[in-house]
Structure 1
Amino acid sequence: MARLFVTGGHGMVGSTLRSHPGIEAWEVLAPARAELDLCDAAALRDWLARHRPDAVVHAAGVVGGIQANMAEPVRFLAENARIGLNLLTACREIGIRMLLNLSSSCVYPRDLGRGLSEEQILTGALEPTNEGYALAKIMTMRLVDYACREDRSLQWHTLIPCNLYGPHDKFDPRQSHLVPAIIHKIHRARIEGHETVEIWGDGSARREFMYAGDLAEAILRALADPSALPPVMNVGPGVDHTINDYYNVVAEVIGWQGRFIHDLGKPVGMRRKLLSVTRQAEWGWAPRTGLREGIAATYAWYLEHQP
């Protein structure tokens, strides 16, 4: 059985991938940080030399929403850049031929809005609220590209997912992205009897979200035939919704019937960030989980696992 090394194997994407039925084709190696610190270059190289995985999915990283990115830009840039550099350097030295690097839609310039196509990366200024994280992701993506230029036999590719949500997500508002933060806020409002919930900005900014289980399916398909995958490819539904829409769907799923108030003085990030899925369509794949279905499954997991 081929060995698959999943970095970040205990985060949302890694945990979802490890629980997907299709993963049974692989012997999965997913050490926790206490066992393997990706910031320790020597330890990482030694681990790879001992275990010799046949393929790597790079899903590890320091992640968070607007609040976390604005509060700790040094950490988001330095740690993510160090992790990417250490991993790719070690994989190259050990001779790992197959690697999927998971990037982020924040690598796109801030003012493009919609139809974000892969060739537009590095053509404009980044969104300031998460620039550090984006720079680290761009660096790792370019290293994947450079390595393939120098060694044409490598099957190294980068997937750029849109925003994700699902079971195993972070729901603490200090660390979470939009959808899990909304789930947590509205759940607390329901059980504590609050009649209002605050939304940052006017709620008209648009975001594209995909259920993490759909990304796991795309990863497994890519691993099964990496030669069919473009070097860089967006992954997402190709449709977006307003922030108000996400609040309304979550409220409907949870059963909260209060009202929303908008704080127009709070930052909202980019007004719109919708990926082009042309390459994904040519690859012959699309996510299958609808928004309400995905939020309902995520909320069920939240109820079971959150205090």
Structure 2
Amino acid sequence: MSIKPIVLLTGGRGMVGRNILEHAMAPQFSFLAPTSKELDLRDFAKVQEYINTYSPELVIHAAGLVGGIQANMASPVDYLVENIDLGRNVILASRNAGIKKLLNLSSSCMYPRNASNPLTEDLILRGELEPTNEGYALAKIFATRLCEYIHKENIAFQYKTFIPCNLYGRFDKFDPKHSHLIPAIIHKVHLAKLNQQKTVEIWGDGGARREFMYAGDLADAVLKAINDFDRVPSLMNVGLGHDHSINEYYEVVSRIIGWNGEFTHDLSRPVGMKQKLVSIERQKIWGWQATTSLADGISKSYNFYLKSIQ
């Protein structure tokens, strides 16, 4: 009987982590996915002790403090400091323990706000960041560069980074104070239908464009990477290669939920970057693509939302 490879997954209770653990390929591995109570990633000594004790063959760093525009603007210190601490502790403890393979999950938020789309991996630190989530972006840049520096000092350490586009899906956060765009839209439109509202407000003119990938597809890319780690680029976007306007996301969600009202626009509200579409050229060469359509992904997310509020 073969022994399953041990994989440490941080953030195993978050949206990305739970999608990884429920993936059909997950049983091929022995996943360690400690909760925050079982392992406080903000405590370097405890992280080091945990990794030394279990000696995983590979570490996937998916933990992080995440949230939408409102949360990032309200708590920039937390989004900067906590995410830096998490990345530093997991990555350095892994190096100190001699773990040779680590996959760091970053964010397309770390691209410059005015960069030309599609966003290529070489654009990082080539311009001003989006102010509404700058702290979070800086923390993600820190972790990405740390992985690169460790590999530069010793090429035996394959510390690589995925840069996913915006994500949504099962196990998402639907509380408006913490949610990203699609779960926020699902919550708003569901309440509009429930309360028989005739209008739903959209921040800005709705023309800003975003690329949202179903979290289950990112999980699929991560599981493929575990089995094909040597061929994974050291830095790679993971996305769809196409995007939609904010208005279009509202329209698709409304159609799936069955709400037939009208949209209004509050032009005084912040909307973030005008477009954030990642280049998937490296991803194509690696040989992977997302398969979940927007309608299917939103349907699955809405079904999860309905169960979560029961």
TM-score when scaled to structure 1? 0.99
Aligned match of 1:248: 251
Q: Name which of 256, 271, 274 aligns with 1:271.
A: 274
Aligned match of 1:196: 199
- Shift of the alpha carbon at 1:113? 4.3
Kindly report which structure 2 residues correspond to 1:109-258, keeping only aligned pairs within 5 A, or say none. 109-258=112-261
**Aligned to 1:159, what secondary structure does the other structure show?**
strand
Aligned match of 1:261: 264
Q: Name which of 68, 76, 80 aligns with 2:79.
A: 76
Q: Name which of 2, 6, 27 aligns with 2:5.
A: 2
Q: Deviations over 1:13-37 (max 9, x none)?
A: 0000000010111001101101111
Q: Give 1:213's aligned amino acid.
A: G
Paired with 1:113 and 1:302, the residues of 2 have a C-alpha distance of 35
Paired with 2:91 and 2:303, the residues of 1 have a C-alpha distance of 37
Q: Deviations over 1:199-229 (max 9, x none)?
A: 0000000000000010000001111011101
Q: Give 1:187's aligned amino acid.
A: H
Paired with 1:75 and 1:152, the residues of 2 have a C-alpha distance of 33
- Shift of the alpha carbon at 1:306? 2.2
Paired with 1:45 and 1:122, the residues of 2 have a C-alpha distance of 30
Residue 305 of structure 2 is aligned to residue 302 of structure 1: yes
Q: Give 2:276's aligned amino acid.
A: K
Question: Unmatched 5+ residue regions in structure 1?
Answer: none
Q: Deviations over 1:227-262 (max 9, x none)?
A: 101100000001000000000000000000111100
**Aligned to 1:21, what secondary structure does the other structure show?**
coil
**Aligned to 1:130, what secondary structure does the other structure show?**
helix
- Shift of the alpha carbon at 1:107? 0.7
Paired with 1:12 and 1:182, the residues of 2 have a C-alpha distance of 17
Q: Name which of 24, 29, 36 aligns with 1:26.
A: 29
Residues paired across the two proteins, number? 307
Kindly report which structure 2 residues correspond to 1:53-64, keeping only aligned pairs within 5 A, or say none. 53-64=56-67
Question: Unmatched 5+ residue regions in structure 2?
Answer: none
**Aligned to 2:197, what secondary structure does the other structure show?**
coil
The answer (yes or no) to whether the contact 1:208–1:274 under 8 Å persists in 2 is: yes
Runs of 4+ residues over 3 Å off in structure 1: none
Q: Deviations over 1:80-119 (max 9, x none)?
A: 0011111111000101111110000011000014110001
Paired with 1:255 and 1:178, the residues of 2 have a C-alpha distance of 19
Q: Give 2:166's aligned amino acid.
A: N
**Aligned to 2:36, what secondary structure does the other structure show?**
coil
Q: Give 2:278's aligned amino acid.
A: L
Residue 104 of structure 2 is aligned to residue 101 of structure 1: yes
Q: Deviations over 1:247-280 (max 9, x none)?
A: 0000000000111100000000000011011100
Residue 256 of structure 2 is aligned to residue 282 of structure 1: no
Paired with 1:139 and 1:172, the residues of 2 have a C-alpha distance of 28
Residue 50 of structure 2 is aligned to residue 47 of structure 1: yes
Paired with 1:85 and 1:5, the residues of 2 have a C-alpha distance of 16
The answer (yes or no) to whether the contact 1:109–1:125 under 8 Å persists in 2 is: yes
Paired with 2:27 and 2:234, the residues of 1 have a C-alpha distance of 26
Q: Name which of 67, 70, 73 aligns with 2:70.
A: 67
Identity, in percent, stands at 54
Q: Give 1:37's aligned amino acid.
A: D
Paired with 2:308 and 2:77, the residues of 1 have a C-alpha distance of 31
Q: Give 1:159's aligned amino acid.
A: F
Paired with 2:187 and 2:151, the residues of 1 have a C-alpha distance of 42
- Shift of the alpha carbon at 1:305? 1.7
